[in-house]
Structure 1
């Protein structure tokens, strides 16, 4: 009888290598639940089950015997390249854990795919760990293309996590390297996007404006997702500078110029961004935000991740607040807090601000004011200038409203 968990690991490798789901492999011979327990190592296989699975996979029984402990890294990369499933990436993680030495280029490629998966899911800690190791390997390989790409991704991850100062430093290195060695338009653009986002986050708006104008000129005529993201970057900078009309114009150009078949995830993210911009406008453009969210939500059935779903719920909560539907806001906040939040630093702070405002409206004045003050202090420590200004403005308005409601109070 074959021993677990080695049998389960090998069974899963063989199934994924053939592009089969658990249901397809199980068919009518065994239950999907039983197959899942076999793969996880929780159940010991019987001789009958081994024979059945060997027939279904069209392999000899000996194929379940694990050679050298795991699928090779090269095999795992081959499997992942033909499918985008999370299960295949998990197989790659396992292969990478067991790989000792070997080709650093293979290891770099594996880590890059794993980092992309963590980014898609919103797990910044895991993504950051992969990117830090990628940076080490890229330095060892001395390939400028790899160094530039990992620096741009690392800067984006750091900025999203709230470490804006380091993000600017690393993105600046990526931009300088991309120009020094004359890398592709794509590499230069991605480095500039990372730098612009970090500069805008720290309030360096003149620098961000100069770099984003350079970016838009660089991608002029390129089209596709790259141009859409560049225009989105320009919209962000214009909005932070207070030019709401120009920001909306840039974002509409990005939306109109991107075919969802080219990148459905970006298609959704642009609509979420447009909804967010509408809700942050003065006054908030509630109808426009509602329209964009209605466009994005059905597509999340196909490309939804924990992060994207949380972004949608967050925007729904902001929309419900502007509409005065405070019970709906509380319900959405409760739903968001049932799971670990994968939101970016800025979105988490703004969600906390929303909750503080709701607490005040619910009559919990001291609790709401304390939360807003705490968030303001946190944003100040992170040197996030415009977030600090927004929070203290809201705090001042809340105090003024409280004073007006109780004129005799000190």
Structure 2
């Protein structure tokens, strides 16, 4: 792989020559170009290569010379840079649309052949796309390495927030909750140092750290952070921040056993989203609300059914990913089980794309656990679903999502009369949560993040 460096030495050395060439092409003297803003001596040092101008100076010179900053820095015309941006746009759209292989191919090709070496901002953007595609493809450790390296060369608040959120999420996915907290808090400090506390990026980071505490079992700390995030989001007036804070707080309240508070917060998030966010986010939130209803001790099946019907339409209208659609099918299968229709639940689960399950191990495990529950409800339990579910759950690790699925697998085996396997599954659930009671469905997993349709 070619070295992923910033602006090359050759391009930097040639900057002065390009400034002089563009100036003489206009028939100007150095005094003409300097005007009242620069001294002739300062401009002379830039043209001789003895002085590296700041970004602000480059912007001023480029505007006066009727050229682009990219041209002055790289010597490459703007249409090439535009073409590279279009390549990156395509990679990002592929990733958003669930075509992970295409996102990986495009970003890797741009990086491997050094096509972005003269545009540091585009290169960093490509590295982020590549890391996120690696995460989506299941290679989370590779994504962590890329993100950690990328974080070291990131200075602005927006990038620090984006990378910090991705890093925290990836560390949670591999069960390293201490690192998940540290990654998020490190980025929060960067934003605070830049005077960006209270901004939407800052609130998203606080929500991310709350999720990491939540996954590590520190529910009290997570609850307090989430409530602080809500207060800051409401003060900021940012709809995106408010929706994210409400949604995550609702999940944490649900896991704390406060179903009424969870539904109230999720409903507030939906009201905010309806005021301007995309249909994909509305569909995902309605799906979450439906999950709350089917997992309640007194499930409201009619309300869950209505929410799922709306979510189905909204996800169909939007650029929802295959994972979004698969999760919707899983919630629908849960509803069918509660309605006493295990055959419909099995049919729903069987229609989920195997490709999606290969990308999402926890989702694949949930599918197999629900299949075991459906088979037990029909009185025809089989070994295949149990074996597949245990294999996948052992790959997932020991987080709350895995604990919930072990618990449900135990319920399936108990219903089928296989008390030995039921006891094993219940022990695994207790191990995941330190023998604490499992209360919530596996899909209740922060962090919520708004995505563009």
| TM-score (normalised: structure 2) | 0.62
Mark the CA change 1:390 to 1:98 in structure 2 (over 3 Å): closer, same or farther. Answer: closer
Deviates more, 1:210-219 or 1:138-147: 138-147
Q: Say if 1:139 and 1:147, in contact at 8 Å, map to a contact too.
A: no
Report the CA distance between 1:114 and its aligned residue. Answer: 5.2
Q: Quick one: which of 363, 367, 384 aligns to 2:379?
A: 363
SS in 2 for 1:249: helix
Between the aligned partners of 2:404 and 2:313, the Cα distance in structure 1 is 35
Between the aligned partners of 1:346 and 1:403, the Cα distance in structure 2 is 24
Say whether residues 1:199 and 2:213 are aligned partners. yes
Say whether residues 1:77 and 2:85 are aligned partners. yes
Mark the CA change 1:95 to 1:397 in structure 2 (over 3 Å): closer, same or farther. Answer: closer
Q: Say if 1:275 and 1:290, in contact at 8 Å, map to a contact too.
A: yes
Mark the CA change 1:91 to 1:134 in structure 2 (over 3 Å): closer, same or farther. Answer: same
Structure 1 unpaired stretches of 5+:
1-67, 405-410
Q: Quick one: which of 336, 340, 349 aligns to 1:324?
A: 340
1:325-348 Cα deviation digits (max 9, x unpaired): 111111122112543416756544
Between the aligned partners of 1:263 and 1:93, the Cα distance in structure 2 is 30
Structure 2 unpaired stretches of 5+:
1-75, 420-453
Say whether residues 1:108 and 2:116 are aligned partners. no
Q: Quick one: which of 321, 325, 335 aligns to 1:309?
A: 325
- Trace 1:182-261 onto structure 2 (pairs within 5 A): 182-184=195-197, 185-221=199-235, 222-259=237-274, 261=276
Between the aligned partners of 1:312 and 1:104, the Cα distance in structure 2 is 39
Report the CA distance between 1:123 and its aligned residue. Answer: 2.2
- Trace 1:2-401 onto structure 2 (pairs within 5 A): 72=80, 75-78=83-86, 85-86=93-94, 94-99=109-114, 101-113=117-129, 118=133, 123-125=136-138, 129=142, 132-143=145-156, 145-160=158-173, 163-184=176-197, 185-221=199-235, 222-259=237-274, 261-301=276-316, 302-336=318-352, 338-341=354-357, 347-365=363-381, 367=383, 370-371=386-387, 374=390, 378=394, 382-385=397-400, 387-388=402-403, 391-392=406-407, 395=410, 398-399=413-414
Aligned residue pairs total 331
1:151-202 Cα deviation digits (max 9, x unpaired): 2122123434655454233223333443344325122112112112222223
Task: Pick 1 or 2: higher relative contact order, CA cutoff 8 A, min separation 6.
Answer: 2
SS in 2 for 1:273: helix
Mark the CA change 1:307 to 1:115 in structure 2 (over 3 Å): closer, same or farther. Answer: farther
Q: Say if 1:155 and 1:171, in contact at 8 Å, map to a contact too.
A: yes
Deviates more, 1:356-365 or 1:343-352: 343-352
Report the CA distance between 1:140 and its aligned residue. Answer: 2.7
| TM-score (normalised: structure 1) | 0.68
Q: Alignment RMSD, CA only?
A: 3.7
Between the aligned partners of 2:405 and 2:140, the Cα distance in structure 1 is 29
Mark the CA change 1:171 to 1:298 in structure 2 (over 3 Å): closer, same or farther. Answer: same
Mark the CA change 1:76 to 1:386 in structure 2 (over 3 Å): closer, same or farther. Answer: closer
Report the CA distance between 1:299 and its aligned residue. Answer: 2.1
Q: Say if 1:124 and 1:161, in contact at 8 Å, map to a contact too.
A: no
Counterpart in the other structure of 1:5: none
Mark the CA change 1:177 to 1:249 in structure 2 (over 3 Å): closer, same or farther. Answer: same
1:356-400 Cα deviation digits (max 9, x unpaired): 212323434473895598379739x83324752663376257526
Report the CA distance between 1:109 and its aligned residue. Answer: 1.9
Q: Say if 1:310 and 1:343, in contact at 8 Å, map to a contact too.
A: no
Between the aligned partners of 1:220 and 1:389, the Cα distance in structure 2 is 33
* Higher Rg: 2
Q: Say if 1:200 and 1:240, in contact at 8 Å, map to a contact too.
A: no
